[in-house]
């Protein structure tokens, strides 16, 4: 049985799910390109989905697109601000970055969800949800046309994040509590405004608050019983805390059964930010000559709920492993077929069932690769079977790649490590050993190549 860390329960719990699972993932805000840190969440969602489907569970996935309502600190919509800065229409900018996001997730072998609602096209169910919250006295209106959620009407607030209402204080950027609010921790469901990206509502023209968008889209497309809700750890508070309060208050029930959050990703030890100049896009990875799936493999080398410090060295190492495994799979494909190595495969699947322990699963694969007692045909079937979940395209070189002689893959990886350590003598010795096996090695700025 699959076990996962449930944020609300604060522990790893068994997922007792039916044959059909409803899963919601908070999607991108399309005012810029997603960087590799943003993409980690979607690889997590895809891995979880593939593990569930391996167990013959049908997954209905929904992932929204935020193209309205995500504000800057000054109250300006980020999509509007960037459209003005780039001299493009709001629609052109949002659709352009949405397409770029889909191209990136496709390159990472992330399966498209069944539902991808855009916030700008889902305003009607948002207005209906806000009206229901007002009717049930979980929300209130103010004279200027704003609508606020009354946080103190939801006693379970804080169960996700541990932030109790009585301990919350106004954000440090705000000098005084908004006088329109009954309580400083209340948040806006509807904001009055004119101009582009605004709509008519019972409270006047304006646009929805960011938090209410996910409540409305998830409820309208998945219903009031959602099995899994995923997102990055940065969304746990306030976004998911507020979303849970809205959805549960509107339906009178606990809507989400399990909340799952992925940890932050750092690059070279720092949080990725435009201000620090260390934002890395997937296109930067491919322009460096690396396979985009090296990013997916680098993610899998770490547990999803552990902070990951990604570097160019780890990406290059992942790329080498990926290329070596593809070459080995192509080599094994030349051997007679044999049944899977059941023991190894079962250990991989057990690791993934244990809170998606992908690092342990990869260790088993490396062990299998080196195990000389397992016939090549069995290794082939095992790697291809596991790759249905890992989605690393390990069969891509079958039928067209040169086949490495036995033992050459390990020598290539040892030589790559020697070059990284600047142990040139060892690198030269390993080059000679590879030459004796008929493998010619060349060194390039992006690493070694072989033929």
126 compared with 428, residue with greater pLDDT: 126
433 and 371 housed in the same domain: no
Is residue 261 annotated as involved in ligand binding?
Answer: no
Q: Is 171 a member of any domain? A: yes
Work out the pLDDT band at 173, boundaries 50, 70, 90.
very low
Query: What integer pLDDT is reported at residue 403 of this predicted model?
Result: 59
pLDDT of residue 408: 82
Pairing of strands 256-262, 226-232: parallel
- Tens digits of per-residue pLDDT, 400-430? 545 567 788 888 888 888 888 888 888 888 8
The number of folded domains in the chain is: 3
Alpha helices for 147-194 (secondary structure H): none
- Model pLDDT for residues 8-25, shown as the tens digit of each residue: 999 999 998 888 999 999
Rounded Cα distance between 186 and 148, Å, is 6
Rounded distance, CA 309 to CA 268, Å?
6
pLDDT at 1: 85
Would the annotation count 239 as a binding residue?
yes
Based on the fold, state whether residues 41 and 121 are members of the same structural domain: yes
* 288-315 tens-digit pLDDT: 999 999 999 999 999 999 999 999 999 9
Domain containing 16 equals: 3-262
In a domain, residue 323? The reply is yes
Q: Where are the alpha helices (DSSP H) in 252-357?
A: 282-287, 293-300, 312-332, 342-353
213 and 315 together in one domain: no
Pairing of β 265-267 and β 308-310? parallel
354 shares its domain with 215: no
Q: Name which residue leads in pLDDT, 229 or 274.
A: 229
Asked if residue 201 and residue 79 are part of one domain, the reply reads: yes
Q: Would residue 376 count as lying in a domain?
A: yes
The three-state (H, E, C) secondary structure of 113-154, written as one string: CCECCEHHHCHHHHHHHHHHHHHCCCEEECCCCCEEECHHHC
Tell me whether residue 294 is in a domain. no
231 with 378, same domain: the answer is no
Cβ-count burial 4-41 (b if 16+ within 10 Å, e if not)? bbbbbeeeeeebebeeebbbbbbbbbbbbbbbbbbbbb
For residue 214, say whether it is annotated as part of any ligand binding site.
Answer: yes
- The pLDDT value recorded for residue 72 is 60
CATH of the domain at 389: 1.20.120
Looking at the chain, the whole-number percentage of residues with pLDDT higher than 70 is: 94
Domain holding 103: CATH number? 3.40.50.620
When pLDDT is averaged across residues 22-32 and rounded to a whole number, the result is 95
- In the predicted model, is pLDDT for residue 209 greater than 70? yes
Considering the chain, what is the average pLDDT of its residues?
91
Confidence tier at 399 by pLDDT (50, 70, 90): low
Residues 144 and 55 in one domain: yes
Residue 419 pLDDT: 85
Answer yes or no: is 243 a known binding residue. Answer: yes
pTM metric for this prediction: 0.86
Of the chain, the percentage scoring pLDDT greater than 90 comes to 72
Q: What pLDDT sits at residue 73?
A: 57
Same domain, 312 and 428: no
Q: What is the DSSP letter of 255?
A: -
* Local confidence band at 445 (pLDDT 50, 70, 90 cut-offs): low
> Is residue 333 domain-resident?
yes
Q: How confident is the model at residue 171 (pLDDT cuts 50, 70, 90)?
A: low
Q: Are residues 137 and 244 in the same domain?
A: yes
Angle (CA) 116 119 125, round 5°: 100
Q: Is the pLDDT of residue 170 over 70?
A: no
Q: Which of 191-205, 237-251, 309-323 is predicted least confidently?
A: 191-205
Q: Is there a domain that residue 283 lies in? A: no
282 located within any domain: no
Residues 362 and 421 in one domain: no
pLDDT at 281 over 90: yes
Q: Is the model's pLDDT at 174 over the cut of 80?
A: no
Return the exposure string of 290-318: e unless at least 16 CB atoms fall within 10 Å of the residue's CB, then b: bbbbbbbbbbbbbbbbeebebeeebbbbb
Cα gap 371→375, rounded to integer Å: 9
Residue 109 in domain: yes
Q: Report whether pLDDT(220) > 90.
A: yes
Tell me whether residue 271 is annotated as binding: no
Confidence of residue 62 (pLDDT cuts 50, 70, 90): very high
**Poorest-confidence range of 65-74, 128-137, 318-327, 388-397?**
65-74
Residues 185 and 217 both lie in one domain: yes
CA distance 398 to 226: 40
Amino acid 273: pLDDT: 78
The mean pLDDT value for 24-28 works out to 97
**So what's the pLDDT on residue 413?**
83
Mean pLDDT of 330-357: 96
CB atoms within 10 A of CB 418: 18
Same-domain check for residues 147 and 43:
yes
Which pLDDT score is estimated for 110? Answer: 96
Using pLDDT thresholds of 50, 70 and 90, give the confidence band for residue 444: low
């Amino acid at each position: 049985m699959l076990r996962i860390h449930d944020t609300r329960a604060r522990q790893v719990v068994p997922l007792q799910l039916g044959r059909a699972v409803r899963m919601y993932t908070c999607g991108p805000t399309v005012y810029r390109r997603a960087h590799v840190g943003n993409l980690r969440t979607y690889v997590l969602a895809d891995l979880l989905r593939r593990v569930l489907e391996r167990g013959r569970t049908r997954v209905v996935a929904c992932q929204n697109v935020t193209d309205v309502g995500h504000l800057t600190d000054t109250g300006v919509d980020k999509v509007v601000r960037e459209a003005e800065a780039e001299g493009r229409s709001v629609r052109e900018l949002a659709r352009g970055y949405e397409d770029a996001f889909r191209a990136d997730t496709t390159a990472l072998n992330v399966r498209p969800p069944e539902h991808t609602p855009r916030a700008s096209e889902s305003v009607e169910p948002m207005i209906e949800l806000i009206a229901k919250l007002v009717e049930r006295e979980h929300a209130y209106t103010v004279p200027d046309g704003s609508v606020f959620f009354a946080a103190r009407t939801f006693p379970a607030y804080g169960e996700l994040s541990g932030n109790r209402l009585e301990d919350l204080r106004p954000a440090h950027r705000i000098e005084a509590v908004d006088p329109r609010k009954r309580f400083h921790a209340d948040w806006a469901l509807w904001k009055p405004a004119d101009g582009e990206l605004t709509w008519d509502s019972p409270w006047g023209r304006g646009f929805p608050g960011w938090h209410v968008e996910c409540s409305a889209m998830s409820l309208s497309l998945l219903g009031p019983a959602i099995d899994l809700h995923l997102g990055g750890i940065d969304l746990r508070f306030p976004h998911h805390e507020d979303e849970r309060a809205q959805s549960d208050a509107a339906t009178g029930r606990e809507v989400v059964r399990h909340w799952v959050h992925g940890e932050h990703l750092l690059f070279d030890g720092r949080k990725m930010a435009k201000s620090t100049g260390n934002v890395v896009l997937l296109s930067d990875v491919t322009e460096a000559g690396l396979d985009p799936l090296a990013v997916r493999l680098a993610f899998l080398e770490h547990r999803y709920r552990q902070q990951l410090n990604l570097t160019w060295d780890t990406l290059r190492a992942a790329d080498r492993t990926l290329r070596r495994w593809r070459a080995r799979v192509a080599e094994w494909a030349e051997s007679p077929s044999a049944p899977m190595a059941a023991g190894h495969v079962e250990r991989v699947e057990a690791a993934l069932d244990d809170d998606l322990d992908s690092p342990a699963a990869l260790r088993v694969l490396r062990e299998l690769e080196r195990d000389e007692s397992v016939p090549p045909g069995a290794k082939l079937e095992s790697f291809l079977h596991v790759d249905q979940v890992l989605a690393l395209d390990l069969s891509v070189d079958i039928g067209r790649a040169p086949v490495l002689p036995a033992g050459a893959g390990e020598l290539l990886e040892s030589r790559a490590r020697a070059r990284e350590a600047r142990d040139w003598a060892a690198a030269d010795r390993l080059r000679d050993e590879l030459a004796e096996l008929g493998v010619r090695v060349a060194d390039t700025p992006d690493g070694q190549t072989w033929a």
